[in-house]
């Protein structure tokens, strides 16, 4: 089916009462853009072989020139894809997710004055992309498509009058009982989804300075697609579609995961694939897997999506010293099969809190994880629905527990994400948190998990093999670089392995499985316990060392011996 036919069908589904003149004009624009694109198609499913590193440019190393200086550091770590957290122009009240201009990068990230020309700005970003691509590193970034900043030109026009052409870019009403079934996402931080503005109210799902866009207006769909096209021409390899489940609103619904939202996503994907095939569209859908998989469609929506429920269950498994939370979550009953071409993205920590939303965890699990990991009152987020703490803090700065958590994430199915600083055990940044409260006026404890990297101090720490940061870094770098040698982790199947003590007693505290793809087969064993244990695994022949270079130890009965929080990656 040709693009014009595909888009026309999607258009009619969304806007049956609208004519297609606007769409026809946009199709001509798409053709012009395709002719202007100077980049070849991406390799199919390249994201399955990626190790993603997520960072804020300014907090990582000041600006894009600073980031360019650290590309060798990232390459040496084993990273081959960068996820740039919000870089677009913003008042920065929500860490850049409040976008003021979709086609401009914040000038401070470019090391330029606000008076610089757009061409000067683009040159710096293009140079950065070229340097990353020379090293085989892809670059994707966040684009918030559900809402804008209240300082966006569209919204500033929208609030001027009821008959302003941009009024319908947003959702205005005097009736605040509309969409009453839509939950308040920032529970405890916002009292309502409606914000009073003069005699009217505008609708928002996030902070009150982030008005929601109205995708019932076809012009909004065109404009947002146009923003994707703009950055594809610059050479960006993909996009993280922020807050994707909330795009379409209908009264008397939860305003989440509506059929029209999927139609909008299909529209985006069709255009992206036409312009530059295999450009990544990554779904940020904070939902149960059975809902997230719908954003893959039949391989015609997002290429990948975050496995949000797996993240808290990895923490539960370690706290409970029991593998079942992980095996149950990845069972077909919880995580449905997905199309062959798409991929889950996995993570331990990210720029947000350790989320315990009841959307995808039970009340029992929420309470258990919160009780075990919210070790300080100030880490609490959204009244018990999350924990604002870095991985090193959650693991009580224990290098072995941090390494165990990474061993689990790096070997389970999916594409792993490393959150900047976690590779060396960066801790919570209380001074940055206090600074951002003053700047934003919001006591948002997620700022604890952000903060700047002190590169001079880090260099000193990493040069000392006995330091905490050096131990964490050494463990994670070894695992990441080893992982890159095997296709089975990003593309292969998984088969759980039951282990016992030789007397028929199952070791629930051991998470064991094989990963296999073509001629590769690895046995992964993780001891979730803080105690030594031995395993009776007679079905495999073991080498002397695993692929990480660790020497395997055995008991007198030839049982595999694991000390507390030990892990092995064994080629079989």
* pLDDT single digits (tens) 268-282: 999 999 999 999 999
pTM (2 d.p.): 0.94
CB 410 within 8 A of CB 480: yes
Strand spans (E) along 194-335: 194-197, 200-203, 238-242, 280-283, 304-306
Burial 439-468 (b: 16+ CB within 10 A, else e): ebebebbbbbbbbbbeeeebeebeeeeebb
pLDDT at position 95: 85
CA atoms within 13 A on the CB side of 39: 24
Mean pLDDT of 210-234: 97
Mean pLDDT of 31-35: 95
pLDDT at 375 over 90: yes
pLDDT band at 504 (very low <50, low <70, confident <90, very high): confident
CB 402 within 8 A of CB 348: no
pLDDT at position 241: 92
pLDDT at position 1: 65
Q: Which helix (H) or strand (E) holds 419?
A: strand 415-419
Separation CA 550–CA 432 (nearest Å): 39
pLDDT at 129 over 90: yes
pLDDT at 501 over 80: no
Mean pLDDT of 360-378: 94
pLDDT at 546 over 70: yes
Separation CA 191–CA 502 (nearest Å): 57
Mean pLDDT of 348-359: 89
SS3 179: coil
pLDDT at position 282: 96
Q: Is 284 a known active-site residue?
A: yes
SS (H, E, C) 560-572: EEECCCCEEEEEC
* Candidate list 284, 357, 461, 559, residue with the active-site label: 284
pLDDT at position 418: 98
Mean pLDDT of 129-150: 97
pLDDT at 463 over 80: yes
Lowest-pLDDT choice from 221-225, 257-261, 522-526, 532-536: 532-536
Q: Is 242 a known active-site residue?
A: yes
Mean pLDDT of 167-179: 96
Residue partners of 389: CB distance under 8 A and separation at least 6: 354, 373, 374, 375, 376, 379, 428, 448, 449
Q: Which helix (H) or strand (E) holds 375?
A: none
Domains of the chain: 46-149+213-483 (3.20.20.80), 150-212 (3.90.400.10), 493-571 (2.60.40.1180)
Share of the chain above pLDDT 70, in %: 99
Separation CA 270–CA 251 (nearest Å): 28
pLDDT at position 502: 64
Is 32 exposed, middle or buried, given 0-12, 13-18 or 19+ CB atoms closer than 10 A? exposed
pLDDT at 189 over 90: no
pLDDT at position 499: 86
pLDDT at 516 over 80: yes
- Report the first-to-last Cα separation within the chain, whole angstroms: 46
Tokens representing residue 222 in the block: 């065109």
* Candidate list 94, 98, 242, 461, residue with the active-site label: 242
Separation CA 98–CA 92 (nearest Å): 7
Mean pLDDT of 253-272: 97
Tell the residue number behind the tokens 């040159």, with chain if given: 123
Mean pLDDT of 77-105: 95
**Which is it for strands 343-347 and 304-306: parallel, antiparallel or unpaired?**
parallel
pLDDT band at 444 (very low <50, low <70, confident <90, very high): confident
Q: How far is CA 188 from CA 192, 361, 389, 535, in A?
A: 10, 19, 18, 47
- Average model confidence (pLDDT) across the chain: 94
Lowest-pLDDT choice from 19-23, 61-65, 199-203: 19-23
Mean pLDDT of 311-319: 97
Residue partners of 211: CB distance under 8 A and separation at least 6: 147, 148, 150, 155, 158, 170, 171, 195, 202, 203, 204
pLDDT at position 374: 96
């Amino acid at each position: 089916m040709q693009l014009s036919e595909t888009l026309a069908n999607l258009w009619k589904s969304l806007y049956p009462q609208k004519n297609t003149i606007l769409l026809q004009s946009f199709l001509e624009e798409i053709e012009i853009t395709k002719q202007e694109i100077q980049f070849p198609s991406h390799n199919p499913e390249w994201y399955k072989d990626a190790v993603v590193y997520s960072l804020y440019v300014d907090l990582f190393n000041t600006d894009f020139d600073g980031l360019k200086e650290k590309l060798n550091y990232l390459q040496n770590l084993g990273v081959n894809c960068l996820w740039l957290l919000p870089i677009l122009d913003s008042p920065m009240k929500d860490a850049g997710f409040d976008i003021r201009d979709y086609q401009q990068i914040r000038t401070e990230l470019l090391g330029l004055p606000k008076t610089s020309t757009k061409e000067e700005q683009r040159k710096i970003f293009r140079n950065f992309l070229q340097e990353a691509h020379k090293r085989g590193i892809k670059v994707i970034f966040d684009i918030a498509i559900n809402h804008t900043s209240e300082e966006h030109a569209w919204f500033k026009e929208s609030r001027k009058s009821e008959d302003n052409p941009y009024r319908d870019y947003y959702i205005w009403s005097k009736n605040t009982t509309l969409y009453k079934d839509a939950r308040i996402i920032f529970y405890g931080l916002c009292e309502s989804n409606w914000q009073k503005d003069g005699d009217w109210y505008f609708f928002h799902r996030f902070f009150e300075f982030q008005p929601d866009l109205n995708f019932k207006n076809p012009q909004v769909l065109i404009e947002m697609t146009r923003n994707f096209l703009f950055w594809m021409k610059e050479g960006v390899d993909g996009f993280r579609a922020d807050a994707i489940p909330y795009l379409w609103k209908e009264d008397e619904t939860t305003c989440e995961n509506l059929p029209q939202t999927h139609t909008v996503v299909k529209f985006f994907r069709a255009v992206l694939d036409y312009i530059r095939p295999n450009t990544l569209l990554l779904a940020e859908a904070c939902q149960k897997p059975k809902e997230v998989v719908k954003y893959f469609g039949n391989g015609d929506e997002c290429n990948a999506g975050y496995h949000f429920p797996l993240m808290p269950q990895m923490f539960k498994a370690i706290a409970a010293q029991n593998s079942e939370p992980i095996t149950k979550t990845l069972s077909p009953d919880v995580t449905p099969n997905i199309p062959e071409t798409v991929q889950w993205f996995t993570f331990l920590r990210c720029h947000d809190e350790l989320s315990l939303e009841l959307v995808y965890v039970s009340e029992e699990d929420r309470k258990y994880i919160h009780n075990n990991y919210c070790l300080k009152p100030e880490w609490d987020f959204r009244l018990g629905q999350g924990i604002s703490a870095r991985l090193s803090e959650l693991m009580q700065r224990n290098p072995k527990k941090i390494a165990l958590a990474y061993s689990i994430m790096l070997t389970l199915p999916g594409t792993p994400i490393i959150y900047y600083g976690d590779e060396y055990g960066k801790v919570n940044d209380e001074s940055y948190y206090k600074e951002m409260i003053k700047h934003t006026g919001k006591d948002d404890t997620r700022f604890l998990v952000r903060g700047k990297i002190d590169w001079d101090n880090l260099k000193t720490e990493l040069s000392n093999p006995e330091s905490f940061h050096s131990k964490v870094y050494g463990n994670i770098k070894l695992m990441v670089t080893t992982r890159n040698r095997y296709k089975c982790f990003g593309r292969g199947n998984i088969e759980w392995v039951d282990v016992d003590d030789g007397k028929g007693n199952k070791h629930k505290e051991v998470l064991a499985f094989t990963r296999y793809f073509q001629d590769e087969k690895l046995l992964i064993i993780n001891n979730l316990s803080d105690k030594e244990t031995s395993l009776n695994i007679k079905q495999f022949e073991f080498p002397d060392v695993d692929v990480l270079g660790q020497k395997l130890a055995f008991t007198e009965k030839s049982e595999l011996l694991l000390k507390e929080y030990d892990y092995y990656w064994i080629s079989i």
